[in-house]
Amino acid sequence: MTTPTQPAKTLVLIHGASHGGWCYERVAAILRSQGYRVFAPTLAGLAERASMDSRRINLTTHIEEVVKLFERENLRDVVLCGHSYGGMILAGVADQIPDRIENLVFLDAVVPEDGKCMNDYVFPGWRILPILISVWLFGRGYRMTPPPPAWFFKVNKADRAMVNRGLTGHPFKTLTEKIHIGSNADRIPNHTYIYATQWRKSSDRRAVRARETAQRLEGVRGRERSRRHDRRAE
């Protein structure tokens, strides 16, 4: 008599701004070799999908894409992991389909509050001004470009050229649209926040705010790792 095998654990990995599914290629290969089922989609308007019209892409677009992935592949009991801007996507998806998710993993990511947008966290107050100028000068008013270079994320020197080749401008509406979420994510059994200590100083207001938001959520397990912000691409 053969022993029934347990179904493979499913992971959905969501990248951050200006990146694409390519940044998870190495870690996805390792996970698949260990028997995991891994999806690392590229969000609309980025990487190999950068030719899409950014004027038609907003935060809702990205959230709906991931929800449709769950429905198309009939994904359940999923570990949903998001990096940086990917935290916005996690929050939106978790609010819509919490019963399909087993664990939300915020990987050095924004943990948004209802009524906030990405720019509220990363470019608060006057910090948005140079970004707006860049968007209008180089992105025709609807694209954040050029993207930050690999050194900004403290990518190791050996991988910087590879990462720079993959980085693309980011649809700006995804950063300005405010998210509207309720408390449905509370139904998800597990929540994890992983904070990369090597990228930002502990006194960085943006980093502190993300951690404090995560810590206020009931049941969130926090972990600090001596890692760079873009470590998963290395």
pLDDT tens-digit profile of 164-213?
A: 999 999 999 999 999 999 999 999 999 999 987 765 544 344 544 555 55
Count of CB atoms situated within 10 Å of the CB of 218: 6
Residue 231 pLDDT exceeds 80: no
Q: How confident is the model at residue 50 (pLDDT cuts 50, 70, 90)?
A: very high
Residue 207 and residue 199: Cα distance in Å, rounded? 10
> Helix, strand, or coil here: 11?
strand
pLDDT at 91 over 90: yes
Per-residue confidence (pLDDT) for residue 228, from 0 to 100: 47
- Going along the chain from its start, the domains and CATH numbers come out as 10-233 (3.40.50.1820)
Counting beta carbons within 10 angstroms of the beta carbon of residue 125, is it exposed (0 to 12), middle (13 to 18) or buried (19 or more)? exposed
| Rounded Cα gap, residues 46 and 36, in angstroms | 26
pLDDT digits (tens, 9 = 90+) for 129-178: 999 999 999 999 999 999 999 998 889 999 999 999 999 999 999 999 99
Provide mean pLDDT across the span 36-41.
98
pLDDT in tens, 3-16: 445 667 999 999 99
Q: What are the angstrom distances between the C-alpha of 178 and each of 88, 174, 198, 225?
A: 10, 9, 29, 29
Q: Which of 65, 94, 64 is nearest to 81 (CA)?
A: 94
The residues assigned a catalytic role are 84
DSSP at 230: T
pLDDT higher than threshold 70 for residue 227: no
What pLDDT, on the 0 to 100 scale, is given for residue 45?
98
Report DSSP letters for 15-47, one per residue: --TT--GGGGHHHHHHHHHTT-EEE-PPPTTSG
